Chain A
Amino acid sequence: MTDTPRKNFWSGLGVATVSVVLITWIIPTYGGSGFAFGLPPQLLATLGAWLMLACAAALSIVSFITLKRDGKPLIAFPEFGHFWHQTWPFLYVLAFIVLVDRFPLTWTAPFMIGALLLILGERRWHVVVLSSIIPAAGLYGLTAHLMRIGVV
């Protein structure tokens, strides 16, 4: 077992919950139907979900026992700041993707790269500009001239 029983307990619980949702709702509803001579369409997915459930539940239980035995608390809240630090990169990429859905990547790229560099504390303008423009220019060259699929 790894050395973080608390993490295991919570992740096990989380995975077990997801697998229960899968088994009871998602797979039966979206899993496809139809009689098949070989294997029913939902069989493998259901097996996989049960496997998840069994292992995650076992993991949770074992970690729970370890935690209790060592007398450590179940819940230890990380500070909010810590949480934010882990989340904002995802929001950044999500924003990037939303932009790329509307405008070609080649044009949005310099702005996004530059923005991230500034967020990360880069203050030397020539570095920011060069790092933003060169990859975008490279992409342009690749798609418009080498692969000839236009601006991507």
Chain B
Amino acid sequence: MKLKLLGTAILSSAMAFGAAGLAQADDFPSKPLTLVVGFGAGGSTDIQARVLANVLEENLGQPVNVVNQPGAGGGVALARLANNADEGYTVVFGTSMTITFGPLSTETTYELDDFRYVAGVTLGQSAIVTGEDRAFGDTWEGLIEYARENPGTSYATQTALDRMIIEYIARQEGLDLRIVPTSGGAGMAPLILSGDVDFGYSGGTHSGYADSGEMPVLLSLAEDRLVAFPDAPTLPEAGYDINAAEIRVVMVPKDVPDDRVERLAEALEAATRDERFIEITEERILMPVTYIPEDEVTQTLRDQIEGYRTLLEELGGVPED
């Protein structure tokens, strides 16, 4: 099967990488590592983490075990990472939103400076989506017009961040929306697909419907237009001054020794060039693979936090309806 050939190709290239790595006389890692995912099994973050773990194993020469610690949008995993004393053997793979918006919206025991951000490896593709056969069609302008004429249009929210964004938009456009809480993509999907809710936020679930067209994207929440849905405008293009771009990052506690962080960064960079990782991430999960080194990604996160803080102040605190 094609996959077996791919597997052999991966293995040999991995051995080449591995040999290069060994030449640096480093004994980290010398035992298995744990990759913690702050989301439930089967979700897009979890799947990416598992593929990443598999690829990292070949590079690092030690097993990488994936463990799920779901809760609070990734917050539980981070709260536990903050107390971790493993010195680099436990990393969290998560989304930037947990650390940029999380501490702003709830009281957390951690904050940005409690961790080091080894690298960003994929760009999130969150979006505002809707279902088929809607009265307003499948464009953002259509929705806005419809919502203006129909107060009580419903929106499915999953996180505090997307809730803040929609409140901002509603205020700017003068909309009166009914905001319905849902739990996760699997909670949002039935409501959108059945038409019980008009439109909503999707962190990654919509990629699964890219070919079937059952979940059209109205607005891209990433920095650029979405890979799989190039027709939908981005937030700035639609006239909203918000940067909600999500980056999937690998995080470690702040006191991990520099050489270990570097080793992990090396392995991650190799992973982002690994064919199998790229194929699955870009063609199955439909997220662009990238490599953003520590300094750059940390600065991006800091900037985002400032942006969110300003937005929150404009809106008058954490949204409550």
Contacts and interface: CB of A to CB of B under 8 A. Distances in A.
A and B in direct contact, judged by CB atoms within 8 A: yes
B86 to A, nearest CB: 9
Size category of the binding interface on chain B: 10 to 19
A15 B181 CA distance: 34
Interface string B31-42: 110100000000
B133 interface: no
B63 interface: yes
Interface in B267-294: none
Contact of A34 (B31, B67, B181, B320): B320
A148 B63 contact: yes
A35 B320 contact: yes
Contacts, number: 18
Contacts of A38: 181
B32 A150 contact: yes
Nearest to B64: A148
A149 B321 contact: no
A147 B34 CA distance: 11
A149 B320 contact: no
B170 to A, nearest CB: 14
A13 B32 CA distance: 53
A148 B66 CA distance: 10
Contacts of B321: 35-37
Interface in A27-70: 34-38
Contact of B65 (A35, A36, A147): A147
Interface in B13-66: 31-32, 34, 63, 65
Contacts of B320: 34-36
B151 to A, nearest CB: 14
B218 to A, nearest CB: 24
A35 B319 CA distance: 10
Nearest to A149: B65
B179 to A, nearest CB: 8
A24 B59 CA distance: 58
A152 B320 CA distance: 43
Interface string A120-152: 000000000000000000000000000111100
A88 B106 CA distance: 41
Most chain B Cβ neighbours within 10 Å, of A35, A36, A150: A150
A137 B181 CA distance: 47
Interface in B202-250: none
A27 to B, nearest CB: 19
A150 B31 CA distance: 8
Contact of A148 (B65, B179, B181): B65
B107 to A, nearest CB: 12
Interface in B298-321: 320-321
A149 B65 CA distance: 7
A9 to B, nearest CB: 41
B317 to A, nearest CB: 11
Nearest to A35: B320
Interface in B162-209: 179, 181
Contacts of B31: 150
B66 to A, nearest CB: 10
A147 B32 CA distance: 10
Nearest to B63: A148
Contacts of A150: 31-32
A34 B106 CA distance: 12
Interface of A: 34-38, 147-150
**Nearest 10 A-B pairs (CB), nearest first?**
A148-B63, A148-B32, A37-B321, A35-B320, A149-B65, A148-B65, A34-B320, A150-B32, A150-B31, A149-B34
18 contacts: A34-B320, A35-B320, A35-B321, A36-B320, A36-B321, A37-B179, A37-B321, A38-B181, A147-B65, A148-B32, A148-B63, A148-B65, A149-B32, A149-B34, A149-B65, A149-B67, A150-B31, A150-B32
Given A35-B320, A149-B65, 11 more contacts: A36-B320, A37-B179, A38-B181, A147-B65, A148-B63, A148-B65, A149-B32, A149-B34, A149-B67, A150-B31, A150-B32
